[in-house]
Amino acid sequence: MTHFLGTHLNRLDAKARVSVPLAYRTALKSLDSGAEGGAAMILRPSHKHPCIEAWPKAIFDQLSEPLERLDLFSEAHDDLAGALYFDAHPISADKEGRMILPESLIAHAGLTDNVVFMGLGRIFQIWEPAAAERRRAEARESARSRVLTLPGTPA
């Protein structure tokens, strides 16, 4: 399994283009070896944080499996499907590794000149730099205070 690791600062240009960090491009390419140019991914607004989530298409497609277990006409299905799909944008990086961020996602994350890419293992997020730093500190403090560990590992 390929993972998105680390934190990377990049510039968002006037045309809403940003370069995907090389390590992330390499991970995406290994997940989607058949893609022309850059690998396919799905960008969507996080429903938990003021950031953009970037999902490799293959990982995003896996979300449909548990969703299909819900009654197609239930409120739970409609709400979860809407949260996942309403504002999702399929996108690929160009030959230089740049992608164009949709305006609605730029607004959701409050992005301006610089953006921070933060790896979360299977996916990555795109943040406004000050918000990224707050989130990093919040996640560390929450994990420490709640003494969080991975299932099946010693505390």
Mean pLDDT confidence for 33-40: 57
Q: What is the pLDDT of residue 137?
A: 95
Instruction: Write down the pTM of the prediction.
Output: 0.88
pLDDT band at 98 (very low <50, low <70, confident <90, very high): very high
Mean pLDDT confidence for 94-118: 96
pLDDT tens sequence across 110-135: 999 999 999 999 999 999 999 999 99
pLDDT above 90 (res 152) = no
- Range in 28-37, 57-66, 124-133 with the lowest mean pLDDT: 28-37
pLDDT band at 107 (very low <50, low <70, confident <90, very high): very high
Give the percent of the chain with pLDDT over 70. Answer: 92
| Torsion angle (degrees, nearest 10) of CA 26, 30, 33, 35 | -50
**Higher-pLDDT residue of 129, 28:** 129
Sign of CA dihedral 76, 139, 4, 39: positive
Indicate the residue type of 109.
A
pLDDT band at 35 (very low <50, low <70, confident <90, very high): very low
Look up residue 121 and give its DSSP letter. Answer: B
Matching CATH number, 7-145, of 3.40.1550.20, 1.10.443.10, 3.30.1300.10, 1.10.10.10: 3.40.1550.20
